[in-house]
Amino acid sequence: MTTQKTSFVKHFSFDFDGTTINTTIAGFNKVNTVLKLIGLSPVSHDYLRPLWGEKFDVLANIVCRYVGGTAEHVQAFLETEKEIPFTCEINEEFFLTLDELRRRDCLVSLLTSRDIDSLLKLSKNLGFDLDVFNYIQTPEDTKYHKPDGRVFEPLFEWAATKNCQPENTIYFGDTVKYDLAATLNSKPPIKFVGVVSGVNTAPEFYLNGVKDIVYSIDDLPEYLRSISNE
Where does CATH 3.40.50.1000 sit in the chain? Answer: 11-22+88-228
pLDDT value for 87: 86
Q: What order do you get walking across the sheet with 169-173 strand by strand?
A: 135-137, 107-111, 11-14, 169-173, 191-195, 213-214
Report the C-alpha gap between 57 and 49 in whole angstroms.
Answer: 16
- Contact 149/187 with Cβ under 8 angstroms? yes
What's the CATH class of domain 11-22+88-228?
A: alpha beta
CA–CA distance, 176 with 93 (Å, rounded to integer): 26
The reported pTM is 0.88
**Upstream peptide bond of 221 is cis (omega within 30 degrees of 0):** no
Taking the C-alpha atoms of residue 5 and residue 75, their distance in angstroms, rounded to an integer, is 49
Return residue ranges of the chain for CATH 1.10.150.
24-83
User: How high is the pLDDT of residue 131?
Assistant: 96
Q: Which H or E run includes 48?
A: helix 45-48
pLDDT computed for residue 117 by the predictor: 93
Contact 9, 227 (CB under 8 A): yes
Q: What is the pLDDT of residue 7?
A: 56
CA distance 164 to 60: 40
To the question of domain 24-83 being in CATH 3.30.1560, the answer is no
How many Å apart are CA 117 and CA 175, to the nearest integer? 23
Q: Around 21, how many Cα atoms within 13 Å sit in the side-chain half-sphere? A: 23
The three-point CA angle 113-147-35 to 5° equals 55
Radius of gyration of the chain (CA): 18
Instruction: Provide the residue-wise pLDDT of the chain in tens; the chain has 230 residues.
Output: 654 444 578 999 999 999 999 899 999 999 999 999 999 999 999 999 989 878 889 999 999 999 999 999 999 999 999 899 888 888 999 999 999 999 999 999 999 999 999 999 999 999 999 999 999 999 999 999 999 999 999 999 999 999 999 999 999 999 999 999 999 999 999 999 999 988 999 999 999 999 999 999 999 999 999 987 76
Written as one string, the DSSP assignment of 57-117 is HHHHHHHHHHTT--HHHHHHHHHHHHHSPP-----HHHHHHHHHHHHTT-EEEEE-SS-HH
